[in-house]
């Protein structure tokens, strides 16, 4: 009996290791299949939408039906290196860490790819565990989706106002027009509000949001001229 007990005790760590290994394999298979599926299908809903206390308005549109002004505006505002990085802007991350260490308002260094991964597959908020998952999903969508699909999904799931998600819903809400018809200044003001869509006004914007929107509008031409959108509009 004692010998059997010792054998069971020795076998326990082996079983735990095998279980952990299986769980990792299942996790990889499920998440890769999930990302692969959404390379072709619109994400039906996100955790942010589920947790939103307001009634949800969203309307998926293919990238071709969204004004290039908006894609260029978010590149100008959020991620000027979108077409050249691998999903992570390491310089921006280092700069954010340095600023945060000095105190004051917390700043992030997230790219459009990281924001898309978070919006589609995860939840809002911080924590090292969620950031680790964000990095993992960012890697997957960069490898499986590519830049054009990432931009298309981002413009369709980003929160553009209270209970409003995506370019089409935002364009209808603020300008009573389709996303394909957004002018530079209209696209720029939507992009200016994206970091804080519940607090920054798009129409009737004043103060910082208005000035920032004007700056983004001016940068749209720079994005196009310098080919910073080349991975989206070839």
pLDDT tens digits along 198-219: 888 787 767 788 899 999 999 9
Res. 157 pLDDT band, cuts 50 70 90: very high
Tens-digit pLDDT profile for residues 65-104: 999 999 999 999 999 999 999 999 988 778 777 766 666 5
pTM over 0.75, yes/no: yes
Residue-wise DSSP of 86-148: SS--HHHHHHHHHHHHT-SS------HHHHHHHHHHS-SS--HHHHHHHHHHHHHHHHHT-HH
Residue 164 main-chain phi, psi, to 5 deg: -120, 125
CA distances in angstroms from 101 to 88, 105, 106, 126, 204, listed in the order given: 20, 10, 9, 16, 35
| CA 184/CA 46 separation, integer angstroms | 28
Determine the average pLDDT of the residues in 153-177: 95
pLDDT at 97: 73
């Amino acid at each position: 009996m004692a010998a059997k007990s010792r054998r069971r005790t020795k076998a326990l760590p082996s079983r735990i290791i095998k279980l952990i290994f299986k769980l990792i394999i299942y996790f990889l298979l499920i998440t890769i299949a999930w990302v692969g599926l959404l390379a072709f299908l619109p994400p039906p809903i996100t955790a942010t939408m589920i947790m939103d206390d307001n009634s949800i308005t969203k309307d998926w549109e293919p990238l071709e039906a969204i004004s290039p002004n908006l894609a260029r505006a978010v590149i100008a505002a959020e991620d000027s290196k979108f077409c050249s990085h691998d999903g992570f802007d390491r310089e921006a991350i280092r700069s954010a860490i340095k600023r945060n260490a000095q105190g004051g308002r917390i700043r992030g260094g997230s790219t459009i790819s990281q924001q898309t991964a978070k919006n589609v597959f995860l939840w809002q908020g911080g924590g090292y565990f969620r950031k680790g998952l964000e990095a993992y999903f960012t890697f997957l969508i960069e490898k499986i989706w590519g830049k054009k699909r990432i931009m298309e999904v981002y413009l369709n799931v980003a929160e553009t106002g209270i209970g409003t998600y995506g370019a089409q819903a935002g364009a209808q809400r603020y300008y009573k027009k389709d996303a394909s018809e957004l002018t530079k200044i209209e696209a720029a003001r939507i992009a200016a509000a994206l970091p804080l869509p519940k607090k920054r006004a798009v129409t009737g914007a004043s103060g910082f949001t208005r000035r920032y929107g004007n700056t983004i509008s001016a940068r749209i031409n720079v994005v196009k001229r310098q080919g910073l959108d080349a991975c989206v509009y070839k």
